[in-house]
Chain A
């Protein structure tokens, strides 16, 4: 059925948004094949964003862990400091080609907000960001960056003050402004065609990994590991390996303080099939279908649902989903900083923490690629508050 990945996905949204989603689908399919659009996208990716990003062999970490070779896909080096740029720039360009004057976006950790503000400034589009008030506090530097880049930032104090509320407000804004506004969703979530568009823009990650690892090692990796909140960096890192059945695809959710309800952001582990933000997917919810607030030390993973394509890959057994706890992520954060001279985002640290667990099982002959989705400057406050440094 159109708009679905197996039983997951769809477009459960108010009627006023249906024409906009239809227009988006049509325009996206047209521009995918449009030479001028592709030329400009390529230009911004290379000369503005800094693609391709390196695939870096983490020699000291590999030695220390004593197992498989660890490679890091350095999305943290991309403009804005995270993989978010791939999608934000792509969609902003889409908005411009569609004749929209204004873009709006939600943001959790602020990385997507920053990437959207960067893209909006580069293309001269009016930019407005919705961010939960709790997230605004713990990622204060990113709020300042967005403002500096000319975006208007709306802090949403409703509910838990995190990503879920920010998406609700962005959807409400869009319902009223849909004629002249493009909603630039930041992850592979939301109604169709968003999960597909965001995944396509992010799939550059796995396209590059495949080429790079082939050049360096002359073969495919044994596993690709990525953190999963909404799941855009993971979809990007997995996508071009889906048909390579020998490659394990491992998504790591935020286990928070543990697997009890309310203590984590791991809908793929503890959630039900439900509806949130326009998609049928795995959601942490109560028996009446109300969403239960999620928790994670990492704002970018603090979301009670997940992209529908991940729910699908899980249902057919093509990808594995697991979790890392807050403290495991923090340990990995510190370890990579000291061992390799790279400060990772707390989000990406979840993927590192799990890679460490499987490095020995996969063994010295094996290759693990960790998608280092973002850099950790934004998390220094959180880490310092814990009294570690």
Chain B
């Protein structure tokens, strides 16, 4: 059984959904990244940790800025991954395929395993090209998380579900990461269809930045909500623990009030 899936279920039981925050390793600084991660782990059992890459085509301006800022520090891959071991949560590494390919699949997977990472998400690696990576991850009991988009057809959803463990990531709109004003309505059909195919948890992300978004997506059937750009925007000039704490409480509590 997947530890990520377990954690999502436990959190869902108590709050109605799991909250998966995204942080970029080493951003805005090494110390502040750890500070933010520790604070967020009070609210979340599963966290996504980005590893920077020079050409992140699935990311909008906010997260691009985080990629670039960390690359300027010229940290080694091992250092970037090691930083996350200071944070207590199930951790999903999110990075592009180029760093993995260059490092070598064996070496990369055993490296993240060494630092207790239990999930891996590669936004530019389609499921049918991921065979070698998936079998290596299975050896180490690391979950692979693949994505479903608003335009993913049913037979592909089955392939994605079959190969994903921990949760399945639904991209809730067309485009790249970044905050948005509202939820993309037609995503409901995607979530409902995916639910009819799989019992694995469904995580929804891209553009989620308000309590109202979370409420709507959970009502549509999301088990977990991923919040990235909104958090990166909140901490980009340094982590003010009080401000971050309020921001998260605001995001999560508003929903709890409305759900109850």
- Inter-chain contacts of B149 with A (CB < 8 A): 14-16, 18-19
A13 contact from B60, B124, B153, B171, Cβ within 8 A: B124
CB-based contact A291/B55 at 8 Å: yes
Q: How far is the CA of A14 from the CA of B147 in the complex (A)?
A: 8
What secondary structure prevails in chain A residues at the interface with B?
mixed
Cβ of B86 to closest chain A Cβ, rounded Å = 21
B244 at the interface (CB under 8 A from A): no
Across chains A and B, which 9 residue pairs bring their CB atoms closest together, nearest first?
A289-B102, A176-B175, A290-B54, A289-B98, A289-B99, A16-B149, A275-B98, A15-B147, A14-B58
A280 at the interface (CB under 8 A from B): yes
CB-based contact A12/B53 at 8 Å: no
Interface string of B130-147 (1 = CB under 8 A from A): 000000000000000011
Q: A18-B156, A19-B151 are in contact. Are A179 and B174 (CB under 8 A)?
A: yes
Residues of A within 8 A of B (CB): 10-16, 18-20, 158-159, 164, 168, 171-172, 175-179, 272, 274-278, 280, 283, 285, 287-291
B243 at the interface (CB under 8 A from A): no
Cβ of B10 to closest chain A Cβ, rounded Å = 28
A12 contact from B77, B125, B156, B176, Cβ within 8 A: B125
Cβ of B171 to closest chain A Cβ, rounded Å = 6
Q: How far is the CA of A246 from the CA of B55 in the complex (A)?
A: 40
Q: Which of B52, B126, B147 has the most CB of A within 10 A?
A: B126
Residues of B within 8 A of A (CB): 52-55, 57-58, 60, 64, 71, 76-77, 96-103, 123-126, 129, 146-153, 156, 160, 171, 174-176
B101 contact from A158, A172, A275, Cβ within 8 A: A275
- Inter-chain contacts of B175 with A (CB < 8 A): 16, 172, 175-176
Q: How far is the CA of A277 from the CA of B56 in the complex (A)?
A: 10
Q: How far is the CA of A13 from the CA of B128 in the complex (A)?
A: 12
B53 contact from A171, A287, A290, Cβ within 8 A: A290
- Inter-chain contacts of A172 with B (CB < 8 A): 57, 60, 175-176
- Inter-chain contacts of B171 with A (CB < 8 A): 14-16
CB-based contact B151/A16 at 8 Å: yes
Q: Which of A16, A158, A164, A290 has the most CB of B within 10 A?
A: A16
Q: Which residue of A is nearest B51, CB measured?
A: A288
Q: A171-B57, A179-B151 are in contact. Are A289 and B101 (CB under 8 A)?
A: yes
Q: Which residue of B is nearest A272, CB measured?
A: B102
Q: A285-B102, A288-B99 are in contact. Are A15 and B148 (CB under 8 A)?
A: yes
- Inter-chain contacts of A289 with B (CB < 8 A): 53, 96, 98-103
Q: How far is the CA of A14 from the CA of B125 in the complex (A)?
A: 7
- Inter-chain contacts of A18 with B (CB < 8 A): 126, 149, 152, 156
Question: Can you list 5 contacts pairing A with B, beta carbon distance less than 8 Å?
Answer: A12-B129, A15-B126, A15-B148, A18-B156, A19-B151
- Inter-chain contacts of B126 with A (CB < 8 A): 11-13, 15, 18
Q: Which residue of B is nearest A176, CB measured?
A: B175
Q: How far is the CA of A301 from the CA of B100 in the complex (A)?
A: 27
Q: Which residue of A is nearest B102, CB measured?
A: A289
A16 contact from B102, B146, B150, Cβ within 8 A: B150
CB-based contact A175/B151 at 8 Å: no
- Inter-chain contacts of B129 with A (CB < 8 A): 10-12
CB-based contact B174/A280 at 8 Å: no
CB-based contact B98/A16 at 8 Å: no
Q: How far is the CA of A236 from the CA of B72 in the complex (A)?
A: 39
Cβ of A285 to closest chain B Cβ, rounded Å = 6
- Inter-chain contacts of B53 with A (CB < 8 A): 289-290
- Inter-chain contacts of A15 with B (CB < 8 A): 123, 126, 146-149, 152, 160, 171
Q: A15-B152, A275-B97, A276-B98 are in contact. Are A288 and B176 (CB under 8 A)?
A: no
- Inter-chain contacts of A285 with B (CB < 8 A): 98, 102
Q: A12-B124, A285-B98, A289-B53 are in contact. Are A19 and B152 (CB under 8 A)?
A: yes
